[in-house]
Structure 1
């Protein structure tokens, strides 16, 4: 049985299906061994291949760095390639960020971010602060600890005996949770819930709050109401709670800003980054901390109590450095805003289709929610596999999408995440949008026939 081409977070590979084998990639496309071309509108799995496939310059960089040094005994040495990269990474971050280090996965980055929040609270005399508030329907990593912090119930279920049940609040998901409310009233409701959870759990025990600026694969590119994060940050500051922005999916230009949280005019305390940080060419992630956090460690001459075998390795630094240069040289942020606006415009046209309930997202992280009744927003039953059907239909037509499930109640509810490489061009956007429409229309017709 061969491995799946795509392993969605919520749609597992079909164990009885033979998947195409990819031979190579170039730009926005992947090619299978038969020569068929696929526009990679999931950017790997997912929102990873931000700068496209088959980049020869990165291949040369990896070779050159491997011939120099691939890993260091970091307890004894540093390297200019690492230090220069971390300095550039901090400059890329929002104003006031001062320190950074790299690890190898988004899960590690999030766990390190939470660990440093706890250590900071202890160093500042707030020993009782240990809880992390997050949101239901969120994904923050696949270790036991980050699954507990995250809010995907079906992923947590098997490990309930190991869960410590950190506090969770509702996702800021107005399409599902704020029916009939103005955006302002719905935002008030979300903020009041956050305040209630803080009080219920004792503010003196809350160490950190974590969220994705736009919820990625778990819900299909759900953005918050206007001013939501500004108000969350004000509350965090009032209660000495650190704000962690999970930028594993939204960082490095995905939303049209260097980091996604900047789209909402908020400067967090800690950033956990990954995926697009290396464009998929090396397992790389990072933690970045603001000066208000770093200064406490510096004043007490204390190091962060953690370590990983491949932390701050030269290979990752060399690749990460190239990606930052690529973003600047190719004017990627402007391209994301231009092509993202075009793609959003074309996807908005899908709202006329019977099964398309919502189109949402920012930049080149866009989502399509699928419903059986647009008026009531009734989801399709999980066993209909609507998002998977659309994914497979698009795949036949040469487009790779990222299907998801559970957006309505954790089990039912279908959505499609659309997150192509940030270097995508207008012609590719048009092909992508046309193929998505064709695929949805065909599945819609199939569903109508089943009802008849």
Structure 2
């Protein structure tokens, strides 16, 4: 028996996977999908089958898998100079300093400082603690609540989980660490026709938010966190004026505005920061995933001068940190990733191709099973509708199509995409930013063929 044959059973015996019913893999682990290597925009599984990575390794691998020699060279150079030194207790290292300076030149207006972490949830936790520190130092320790949006996902650590709107993820762990109120996200699918107008919809959303702020007491709100395009619920884009409206409310009532860009930063929407596309002017930005193009773990919280002018007062200690935050190896890889993206004009390529992808994805609304298509850049979701009068799925149709046929056919056709089995089932893609027109067409064709088959199998009602 080869090593490849042994891997699934070894995983079943010893490996606990993220967000997975591990006990359902079976003792032999035969239900486990093992990825062995990558090549361009493709990955190859343990059986030698080649798949388009239509999700960029969970939104991380912006550059695909063919830049390994360049990243290896950057890593080797860094390891020969310095393998590790913490950003801790008045100590730093050159690579971390260089990356912080580089990020300040890319970040939104007035965002000049970076606090490094190990990933996205840690970056979100950091934003919360900095917000609390900021308000306390300004004499407002009563700002202990957060605002988030319905259906949002901001991480699974206990602090970040507070801002995540998913009872199934939260209830097993008791009351949330941070008192959080949830307001509507910006998904207008299925809403009244008047909300098709951006000005009307934006005014409605901001009025609801302001009412919630006033009901809770503005003096109790520390921050509002939102993604420029909300991932959970299916690539939910904002209407025009929404982010400037959030900025105005934050200024009026004194809370901080946090843009969670763990997914949307570093080119996913054709900009270094996705919020720039929508006029966002946040006080803090959380990033991870694409900052290193998936070649190393790293997260970061980018902080505005408005905040650092308060928390950087002489004698004030920022009593928060992570041992491996800003690890020299991860920082070196992040710097190389940014260099490659500029050199190879990755953002420009996304901007050149985004309209073509939008057109291809938009055409799928002609299929009976597709209720809505939404997204931007290289980030799209299709919301599926089923056999019930309200557009939902009966248990039979959900099991046959959403759980079985659609994910199976996509995989058999050589496409890794995300198929959500939730209240509103979704098919989502976030292809590598190196994808060309031909590959985007292939992705769209596979989805079209799969959903056409699913439409024909949809029970009549």
TM-score norm. by structure 1 comes to: 0.91
* Deviations, residues 337-378 of structure 1 (Å, cap 9, x unaligned): 22222111111111110010011111011111000269x661
SS in 1 for 2:195: coil
The answer for the alignment partner of 2:363 in structure 1 is: 349
* 2:328 paired residue number: 314
Which stretch of the first structure deviates more once superposed, 262-271 or 48-57? 48-57
- Please state whether the residue corresponding to 2:156 is helix, strand or coil: coil
CA distances 1:320-345 after superposition (whole Å, capped 9, x unpaired):
10111111111111111222221111
Structure 2 residue aligned with 1:185? 200
1:393 aligns with one of 401, 409, 418: 409
Q: CA RMSD in A?
A: 2.4
In the alignment, the residues of structure 1 paired with residue 395 and residue 315 of structure 2 have an alpha-carbon distance, to the nearest angstrom, of: 54
2:158 equivalent among 144, 157, 161? 144
Q: Conserved in 2, the CA contact under 8 Å of 1:220 and 1:404?
A: no
Match of 1:403 among 397, 409, 419: 419
User: 1:227-275 deviations in whole A, cap 9, x for unaligned?
Assistant: 1111111011101110000000101111111111111112100000011
Report the 3-state secondary structure (helix = DSSP H, G, I; strand = E; otherwise coil) of the residue aligned with 1:133: strand
Find out whether 1:63 has 2:73 as its counterpart.
Answer: no
Superposed CA deviations along residues 399-451 of structure 1, whole A, max 9, x for unmatched, are: 10012233xxxxx2101111001111111111111111111112222334xx5
Instruction: Give the 3 Å change call, closer, same or farther, for CA 9–335 of structure 1 in structure 2.
Output: farther
Partner of 1:324: 338
1:107 aligns with 2:117: no
Please state how far the C-alpha of 1:179 moved relative to its aligned partner: 5.0
Asked if the contact 1:339/1:426 (under 8 Å) is kept, the reply is: yes
Asked whether 1:42 is paired with 2:58, we answer: no
1:52 aligns with 2:64: yes
CA distance in 2, matches of 1:131, 1:382: 38
Give the one of 64, 72, 91 matched to 2:85. Answer: 72
Aligned match of 1:437: 448
Q: Contact 1:387–1:416 (CA<8 Å) still a contact in 2?
A: no
What is aligned with 2:216?
Answer: 201
Change (3 A) 1:180 1:387: farther
- TM-aligned CA deviation for residue 387 of structure 1: 3.9
Task: Tell me the residue number matched to 2:147.
Answer: 133
Aligned with residue 171 of structure 2, among 157, 173, 193: 157
Q: Which runs of 5+ in 2 are unaligned?
A: 1-7
Aligned residue in 2 for 1:420 = 431
Change in 2 beyond 3 A, CA 1:377/1:350 = farther
Give 3-state SS (helix, strand or coil) of 2:151's partner. Answer: coil
Q: Does 1:274 align with 2:280?
A: no
Relative to 1, partners in 2 of residues 1:387 and 1:229: Cα closer, same or farther, differing over 3 Å?
farther
Helix, strand or coil: the match of 2:148? strand
Measure the CA separation in 1 of the matches of 2:318 and 2:258. 16
Q: How far apart are the structure 2 equivalents of 1:11 and 1:416?
A: 21
For residue 36 of structure 1, report the CA deviation from its aligned partner. 1.6
Seen in structure 2, the aligned counterparts of structure 1 residues 302 and 178 have a Cα distance that, compared at 3 Å, is farther
Label 1:390 to 1:24 Cα distance change in 2 as closer, same or farther (>3 A). same
The answer for unaligned runs of 5 or more in structure 1 is 407-411
Name the structure 1 match of 2:32.
19
Q: How many residues align?
A: 441
SS at match of 1:175: coil
1:221 aligns with 2:241: no
- How far residue 97 of structure 1 moved from its aligned partner, in angstroms, is 1.4
The alpha-carbon deviation at position 24 of structure 1 amounts to 0.8
- Please give the secondary structure, in 2, of the residue aligned with 1:167: strand
Moved more, 158-167 or 62-71: 158-167
Going from structure 1 to structure 2, the CA distance change for 1:390 and 1:353 (only over 3 Å counts) comes to same
Match of 2:43 in 1: 30
Contact 1:41–1:418 at 8 Å: present in 2 too?
yes
3-state secondary structure, aligned to 2:234: coil
Residue 18 of structure 1 aligns to a residue whose secondary structure is coil
Distance change (3 Å), C-alpha of 1:177 and 1:146: farther
